[in-house]
Structure 1
Amino acid sequence: MGITFHGPSPWPHITRAIRTRGPRHGAIAYLGEDAPTLLPLRAGDVLVVNASRAAVRAHATSPAALAHYVDAGVRVLSSPNLHANVIVTDRRAVIGSANASYSSTIADEAVIITDDPDIVAAVRKFIDGIEEITEADQVFLDNATAIWQIGRAVSLSGIGGRNRAEPEFLPTPVTRMFLWHITEYQPGEAEEHERAAHTSRRTTSAGPSAKYQLEWFRIDTPGGRGRLQRGDVLLEVTADNEWLYPPAVVDSDPIAVTDAEVWLADLGHPNPRLRTDHRIVSASLRAAVLRLWNL
């Protein structure tokens, strides 16, 4: 076999290379929830991961993946300093950049797979020599699950954000950003009268027939200062101040306003004023708000 290079999508090659008899040892820094599909391990294997509080809270390492391996009989260990991604079998070693996660499968990754006995031995020695490790027992898993539930997806050194959205749709730089609180518009008496007059008119044979009935729709000018312009970024907040929606072109779930306020405070913005309509003038606050969706 010798040495082979695989990129930018190496995971099919990694998975195939480690489907061998005998114990497998791996040191994979971060595990997504789908890690067991990419990295099929069994009883007798050893897996060292970075399941530190920071990694779990950032949703970089999934307690569900850890539990899957533990239930399968894999010995799972956590090292807070781990940032390597290597796997070794009896005959092969995998060395590269790929974490076991969905984000790794859509990123440009690269690995080397080799059956050189000296490299295989060196990789095994590296994994066995990792210090400051903690056994992932049931107490560890319970704590990790609790941390995951109160955490959020944030950036960690060397890895991309979870479900990272493509930012190309945004203007560069973002110079105007507005918060818009969604309210149910109630037309006035004059508008209701005009609507009734139009809808009661008979359809004549002149011109095209009406196939669609337009309902009332109005967006008040955000912040009361001028009109929206091409390149403006508009974020919606529900009328009950419960949900903050991403830019309309982003396909992702909304974030609870209370959570967003806490996260922005952690980033140095204790008063983001998410509950009132206004233009976000601060460049750093604009950047922090976009980071809520990894933009």
Structure 2
Amino acid sequence: MGTTFHGPSPWPHITRAIRVRGPRHAAIAYLGEDAPTLLPLRAGDLLVVNASRAAVRAHVTSPIALAYYVEAGVRVLSSPNLHANVIATSRRAVIGSANASHSSTIADEAVVITDDPEVVAAARTFIDGIDEITEVDQVFLDNATTEWQIGRSVPIPGVGGRVRAELDFLPARVTRMFLRHIVEYEPSATEQQTWATQAGRSSASTGGPAATYQLEWFRLDDRRARLERGDVLIFTDDNEWIYPPAVVNSDAIAIPHTHRAFGHLLLVRADLQPVSVADAEQQLANLGHPNPRLTTDHRIISASLRAALLRLWNL
């Protein structure tokens, strides 16, 4: 393997590199709730994190993730001074900036992965030598849960949020994303009036230059297919083009004179262009997702795939 550099989206490479036998030792400063999908540790592994009161209150280390690892048999330790991200397996070392969080998957991160024996040994020594250690047990988890509940999220790039210089478009954390095929239909006069009325009410709250941010209308005919504000939709048409993300910007709006139909306002960026499905599949494969299922309507569960899809438009 040698030594390789991975950025700006290294998590698929990290996850693959550490799927090996033997105990893994990891020092990862901050953990999001979805850390176990990025950092698949098991019984016998060691995980050192910064689960200090300040980190938990700032919502950069999640008690849910801590509890998952403890229940899985991982030995979890907390060090308030930890700010490094280092993983050592029996054959590889991963050294870089990436925390185990959704925010890290959408930030520009970088890691070096190497099988150099000296570097692997040095990484292991570093992790085993971290001081001011507290064992994460049930009492620790109970206290951490209390601190989380009284704290608040602090936006730190790659840790607990995203920092943007312009109007927010995507939610700070994209936790629900759906792939949908475009269905052509002719809206009735009543539906057009409903859409025009709702768009007029909402336009003042969307802000931003009109040339960049626009509202579109999306109709659903099944109330069981519920969407929520902040959900992200990725549309494709006839397997030829995949369109930039649209964000649900309203609650469900009933469409008069229909039995079950309702609509949502979607916030879109007019400056983003569609990508061919073929190009998208190639880019996603390069990011570690060779089978993204772009031809099937579904909810995208994988946090790393969600991040990879957003990277098609550098979001």
Question: Under a length normalisation based on structure 1, what TM-score does the superposition of the two structures give?
Answer: 0.58
**Partner of residue 168, structure 1:** 166
**Partner of residue 54, structure 1:** 54
Q: Which has the larger radius of gyration?
A: 1
Is the contact between residue 28 and residue 49 of structure 1 (CA under 8 Å) also seen in structure 2? yes
Counterpart of 2:129 in structure 1: which amino acid?
A: G
Deviations 1:179-204 (A, max 9, x none): xxxxxxxxxxxxxxxxxxxxxxxxxx
Tell me the C-alpha RMSD between the 2 structures: 3.4
Aligned equivalents of 1:152 and 1:230: distance in 2? 27
Measured after TM superposition, the shift of residue 119 of structure 1 is 0.3
Aligned equivalents of 1:154 and 1:27: distance in 2? 22
Structure 2 vs 1, CA of residues 87 and 105 (structure 1 numbering), >3 Å: closer, same or farther? same
Is the contact between residue 101 and residue 159 of structure 2 (CA under 8 Å) also seen in structure 1? no
Aligned equivalents of 2:7 and 2:89: distance in 1? 21
**Partner of residue 111, structure 1:** 111
Aligned equivalents of 2:140 and 2:28: distance in 1? 18
Deviations 1:124-162 (A, max 9, x none): 000000000100010000000011111110145x74543
Map 1:74-153 to 2 at 5 A.
Answer: 74-153=74-153
Specify every segment of 5 or more residues in structure 2 that has no aligned partner in the other structure, as ranges.
169-188, 202-206, 210-245, 251-315
- Partner secondary structure for residue 166 of structure 2: helix
Structure 1 or 2: larger strand share? 2
Map 1:180-195 to 2 at 5 A.
Answer: none
Q: Give the count of matched residue pairs.
A: 192
**Partner of residue 3, structure 1:** 3
Is the contact between residue 31 and residue 61 of structure 1 (CA under 8 Å) also seen in structure 2? yes
Map 1:4-23 to 2 at 5 A.
Answer: 4-23=4-23
Counterpart of 2:42 in structure 1: which amino acid?
A: R
Counterpart of 1:120 in structure 2: which amino acid?
A: V
Is the contact between residue 165 and residue 250 of structure 1 (CA under 8 Å) also seen in structure 2? no
Is the contact between residue 59 and residue 154 of structure 1 (CA under 8 Å) also seen in structure 2? yes
Deviations 1:239-287 (A, max 9, x none): xxxxxxxxxx99799xxxxxxxxxxxxxxxxxxxxxxxxxxxxxxxxxx
Deviations 1:84-127 (A, max 9, x none): 00100001000000000001011111100000000000000000
Is residue 28 of structure 2 the alignment partner of residue 28 of structure 1?
Answer: yes
- Partner secondary structure for residue 169 of structure 1: coil
